[in-house]
Each structure stands twice: as C-alpha cells, then as structure tokens.
Structure 1
C-alpha cells in the first residue's frame, strides 16, 4: 500500500503535537483524523478503519510511566488487530518503547522527531504490510486459517514444522474450530502438495461402507458392485488421506485400519490382489485425548500409529481478539459475495459478539456474520442487527475456566476500565484498590 492512500489517526492530549503531525503528514496521506481523548478510541475505531494509529504513550498529565500508552495500544490491537500502531515517546523512555514493540506496536517516534524520518517510517510500514499478514493459506480455494492469538500461532508453528515430513498427524478440537483447514494447510505446505488430498468422514460410514469406501472393490464383490472402483486409500496415492471423525469408528473398523497402516497395503473387496499404498495420513476428532485413551472405545496401538504429532485447535471462546479479526474477515467476504457494504461496526455490536460463547466456534461465527450481512438494512451494524442461532444457544457453555476466581477478576477489571473509558485512576477508585495495584493486575493478566 502507498502512503498517499493511507488513512491515519493521531491520538495525543497535546494540541501542539496534533497540529505539528497533521501539518507534516497532510501533503502525503489521503486522510488524517486527530483526537485528544484516548477514551474516544473505541467508538472511533468501531466506526472508521485506519491504516496507522499514531499514539502518545502518556496522557492527562499523569505520572509518565507509559502504562496508559501500553493499555491503549492493547485496546487498539484488540479492536483492529491489522492496524499498525506507532508510539510517540520521549528520548528517556526508549526501554518502554522497546517493550511496546513486544506488545504489538509496529514502530515508535522519539520526540523531538525528524520530519523526514517520520514520513519514511510510515511509508516503510505500509510497503511491508503484506509480509506481516497472518492468515495461513490452506488451499487453492483461498480458504485460510486466520488468527493472531498465541494458541493459533502455536498451531501455525506446528504446521510449519510437521508439513514437510511424512509424520502421521492427529488434529483435536471441538466441532467448528477448523480442523479440516489444518489438514489442508499441512498438505498444501508438504512435499505431497501436487498429489491428491482426499477427505473421508469415516464416522459416518457403516461397517460395509467402511471397507468399500476406503479399500475399494472389484466388480461382483457384492450385489451393487457393477464395476471396479478404487478406494480412498488408492485415490490418495502419493498424496494425503484425511480421515475425519476418527474417534467415532468401531473397534472392528479400528482393527482393519491398523492392519492397513502397519502393512502399508490394501486388498479391495472381492479380490486377493495386494496394492502397496504410499499416503500421508492425517486424522481428526472432536473427542478429548483422554476419551481416546479409553481402550474400551479406542485401541491404544492405533492411537500411537495415527498420532506421531497432535495439533489442538482451540475453541473460539478461548481466542480473545481473534473474534474481531475473524468478524472483519467474514464481513469482507460476504459483503463482496452479496454486493453490500462496506459496513462499520458499532461498539455494541462488537461487545455482543465478544460476550457470546460460540459453542459452534468459527463455523457458527461465519454463519452469524453471513446472516447479518444478508439482513442488514444500514451500513452501520448495531447490536440489534446481530442474532444467534437457537440451535447453538442451548448447547452454549462458557467452560470451567469462566468461573475461576482469576477470570472473574480479569473480566471485572475490563468492564470497569471500559466503563471509565480507560481512565486508570477512576477505575482503581471504583475497584477499591490503588492505581499501582491496578497496574500490577493489568500486568498480571496481560491487559
């Protein structure tokens, strides 16, 4: 992206700084917005999209610890994870500025700044934006795993490590978390990517269909076998075979599968022919690993065979700011599909989204956003534009972690700070603790 097309927001309680930066950047960018009150950031970012936010590290004449800047940096990244944030700091706060980079800032400006250096830094940020994009392409259809939270980054790291190998992979996670996308990503980033990727929902196969679907059959093998047919193992030859819902197959089916994996060969139904197989096996299940360890339900020797490496897809409710990131991704997707929008998000809309448990995970969010785009009457999406399916609502659970004491404290702190528009002093007073104690808790919970 070029600087001349950029929209920039500058947030500083010093009018002189706002004026100086606005005059400096006005000839080079498409649009500049200035704001003195950081408490207005939430509503501004919900209604408008910016490429870069330039943010002061200290506000309101309080003790210059930079904590206000770090707090608002995190709020910006929560609301718009793909927005670059540049911090303004004094020369003596370089260590704090470096810490801000670890917290998600893209760069920092040291006062007094050099005008040309500021312009060059912003230009470089925009030119290198593509290299910073996080979505993980998983196939030729353009589908992606999207996320910035630590749990998803760990999934990305595992994919990069295991994809070039032929190790068998077991993907664990609730329904709707994107296990099939992980399987595709592993295949598309492997040495087998030019060969077939074959998916089978083995949990839906009866005993007879299990044999014929996976191993194929010869003409006359059974009543409706009117011609020879290759099984899924043979169809995936040289490529990747993805067995979804592996936790739902019977013990007899497990024994048959184990034999094939050990011998690396199959025999089609109605034939004594032995066909060597060369496939990379990926399996997935929504069962917990502890359930798979129950030998009354699943053979341990098969678990060891299919689970050289396991990858756990986290539920959406545990992915924090990824809800906002995914929401904007699906909004763009369905705005284009239905030729509507562009849409702006009211803070109430985002608040309602983040407080939903999403028992259906990313799949549920995708359908919710598609329905919202279809039914929306205006360009600003309000809380009332958002509705959740009654199919999922009865199953919704927040998980055991939602009732832990530290989680309750963390959520209370967030609500009070939001209520006071980020004013730490007021928030500390309302919580009945000192300002220093509140900062310690913000640090503890990485807020």
Structure 2
C-alpha cells in the first residue's frame, strides 16, 4: 500500500520505532520532532495520515500543544487523517482530540498490530471523505429515492433511536451515518466510526470497552474504549454483519445494560452514546441465527434505513458525474470538459456494480486520462458493451471484468491444491491465450478481485482477508480497476 505518513513526536526513539514499523507497509514515512517545522512541511506536501503526539514540552501532560497542531492540520484544504498519540491515557483529552477532528487515538507504548490497524482505518476514512466532496461529504441526488432517503434521515436524526443502515458496497452508508449525527441533538459531540469486521476477537473488549493498566500482557497504561471516547456523541459500528457470534453477545450485554466494564476494572461505567450500525449483508441473512443474533438485531434495528444502489436512481448520475469531474479537474489541474452525448447515455445505462464509489473512481480516471475536446466512454474505463444494463449478469462474470479473462467460481478456488487465491481465481492462462484474451498482470489482478468479491457477495472485509491485503488496499485496487 502506498501512502505518505508523518510521525510528529519529540521523542526520536518513539518516532524511529514507528517509522521502521510503518515504512515496510506504506512506503513514505517521515518523522518530525520540532512542531515549528510543520507549516513548512505542509507547504510542500500534505500527508495522508499524521501520527500526532499531544505533548512536546517536558513535564506537560495537558495536550494543549498537540490540540493546537491538530487545529492546524484540520485547517488544510485537504486535511490529513490524524491519529492522536499520548503516553497518558486521559479520557477527557482523548475525547477532546476526537471532537477536534482526530479520527482515532492510541496510547504509548502501542501494540504494533493496533497501530497498523489504526493507520489502515485512517486511510480508508480519508479516502471516503475525500471522495465525498473534498472534506465536505454529503448525500447527493435529487431522484425520488434520494428525496425519500433524505426525508427519512430528517425524521429519524433528532431522536435517540438506534439506526441500522443497509446497502451495497459504495452506496454511501457512512455518509448516511454522518448525516444522521449532524442533524441529531448529539451533533456537538463526536461521531466515532469503528470497523467491526476488522476488530480481532482477542482485542474486541479492549477496543470497545477499554482496559486498566496491568490487566493483561502489554497493558502498560489505562486505555479508554470506543464507547467511552464517543461519550455524548454517536458510535458508528460499520460492517456489523461481520462480527463473530461471541463478540455479538458481548456487544448485546453492553447495549442492554447501558454500561461497559473495562478489562481489569472493578466497576462498570455508564455509557452515553447513540448507536448507528451498517452492513452490506442482504437483510434476510441478518435473520439467520447462524449469522446474527436476533436479540442483538432488535437492539440495533429500531429504525432501518435502506440506501438505494445507483442503478435504482439513474437520474442522479449526471449530477454525480458533474460533481466528481469538476472536483478532479481542479485537483489534477486538468481542463474542464463536457461529457459527450453518447458517453452520457452509456454512463446512465451502466449498472455501476460499485455504486457511487465506482462512479467516483471512474471520474478520477477520466479527468486524468482524457485527451479529446469532450469526455468519451473509454475515458471512464468502460466500453459501450459494458455500459449496457445487466451486462455483468449476461456475461456470467462480475461487472467490468475484461473479456477473455476467466473467473473461477468459489468451488474452483476450493479445489486449487496449494495454490494462492490469485491463482485459483484467474482461470487457465492457456485457454485465455488461445482466445486472445488480456493476460496482463493488471487484468489478472482485476479478475481475481472481482471473483473474490463475487464469492463473498461483495463483503469487503472477507474479500480483503482472502486476498491477503487490508481493506484500505482493496478499496484502492477497486478504484484502480474501476470495479
């Protein structure tokens, strides 16, 4: 995964340790020990993620210095994702950092897996926000389906009811959660997002409920959980359908009692959060007791909001195209172009299997690669045949897979003796070669990703795990290949 990470910490040993850990995974990792050098660094390039220490002057533990730097970072035109770091697990300070725009916080010394997971999630959140509208994501669309969705959000948001958001990958479930929080009585508090599918069972309680110093190996300091950190605000539980049943039972207990007990603590702590959850599972699967506990479901789905896929609101496609093309033309300093009539017609007829996310990435590609006086369909990485409604289903392969690339079924992957997921899902090269298919590495990778997503019904977490990459890396590859 390629990303620019900045570690801002006055302790050279801490910064170097984090740099060595992260450089192998993300590539460009810089360190800065003197906060005075931050403005000059930002003038050259804004990082994707900043690991920000909250205290720099020896003896100070109130975090004022770090919070001032956080304000500076969040004031950038395209602000980086910020992960606050402190050696003092002070819950009020962590909450204040989250309110000012930090996406997460970790305590030092950290667990390596926890730090990497925090950076992965920060990159995924920044990508979602950047794609929404350059720092101001919103639900766009004037179709009847979108008007009904916005009306439902307006009715539900001022209440304290728990909300479950359902929808396919890329429809904007997190944007719906943010819209609910922004219009709620808790808008002054933080909206803290947690990827439930990425939480290991072994650290589930620590991440959500917190722990006390010495409660287990490497618990070197008290740590607040996500329920405590989101106090007074909203907690967005994303990918809720991917939770193991054992973890579901623990979450249910917390919601029933409205309290959590940090690991190693003697007394429970009351919680004050509104729960917004989301999943891309088909709704009927949530009622399967082998997948999801019915008692937890009834705690979460007081209100159910179903976000329509883009193919059910095609009249919004021109508005979305104009928005994202304008955004990327400005970002990459490319000339403004109109969309040709034939291209617009084809784009409106396309089923957009990846929904708004796929459309956004297609617009980014078009803004970068277009050469003519107006945009044509090939600029968006599609052919006229691919733009036909139902083309994916007719061909028997996931949408946007190049012709001539074989896509194996799940059973074929299961039969592959000792092979990798990539090898199992790309079919026989000889057969493709004889058919004159595209056997470039990009085409093979694209087919493997599309097949894996199809195998898991679009579940990003499961597909990423099978492919051996992070969710954030998979999202980037989806954009790269226009899936």
Distance of aligned partners of 1:379 and 1:221 in 2 relative to their CA distance in 1, 3 Å threshold = farther
Residue in 2 that maps onto 1:396? 399
Residue in 1 that maps onto 2:319? 325
Deviation (angstroms), 1:396: 2.6
Quick one: which of 150, 157, 160 aligns to 2:154? 160
What is the Cα-based RMSD across aligned positions, in Å? 1.9
Contact kept? 2:233, 2:272, Cα under 8 Å: yes
Q: Does 1:170 align with 2:164?
A: yes
Deviation (angstroms), 1:352: 2.4
Quick one: which of 297, 300, 305 aligns to 2:299? 305
Deviations along 1:340-393, one digit per CA (max 9) or x if unpaired, are 22111101211221232211110010011011101122341122322049xxx9
Contact kept? 2:365, 2:379, Cα under 8 Å: no
The one of the two structures with greater contact order (alpha-carbon pairs below 8 A, sep at least 6) is 1
Distance in 1 separating the partners of 2:191 and 2:134: 11
Distance in 2 separating the partners of 1:243 and 1:341: 40
Quick one: which of 330, 333, 337 aligns to 1:336? 330
Contact kept? 1:139, 1:184, Cα under 8 Å: no
SS of residue paired to 2:277: strand
| TM-score of the two chains, using structure 1 as the length reference | 0.55
Deviation (angstroms), 1:231: 0.6
Contact kept? 1:145, 1:181, Cα under 8 Å: yes
Quick one: which of 170, 194, 200 aligns to 2:188? 194
> Runs of 4+ in structure 1 displaced over 6 angstroms?
none
Distance in 2 separating the partners of 1:384 and 1:274: 59
Residue in 1 that maps onto 2:364? 370
Deviation (angstroms), 1:200: 0.2
Deviations along 1:194-227, one digit per CA (max 9) or x if unpaired, are 1011000001111122111111111122222221
SS of residue paired to 1:310: strand
Deviation (angstroms), 1:140: 10
Residue in 2 that maps onto 1:263? 257
SS of residue paired to 1:284: strand
Q: Does 1:254 align with 2:209?
A: no
Distance in 2 separating the partners of 1:141 and 1:189: 18
Contact kept? 2:239, 2:278, Cα under 8 Å: yes
Contact kept? 1:349, 1:386, Cα under 8 Å: no
| TM-score of the two chains, using structure 2 as the length reference | 0.51
Quick one: which of 354, 362, 380 aligns to 1:360? 354
Quick one: which of 226, 230, 242 aligns to 2:224? 230
Deviation (angstroms), 1:263: 0.4
Q: Does 1:273 align with 2:276?
A: no
Distance in 2 separating the partners of 1:160 and 1:140: 24
Deviations along 1:171-210, one digit per CA (max 9) or x if unpaired, are 0000100000000000011111110110000011111221
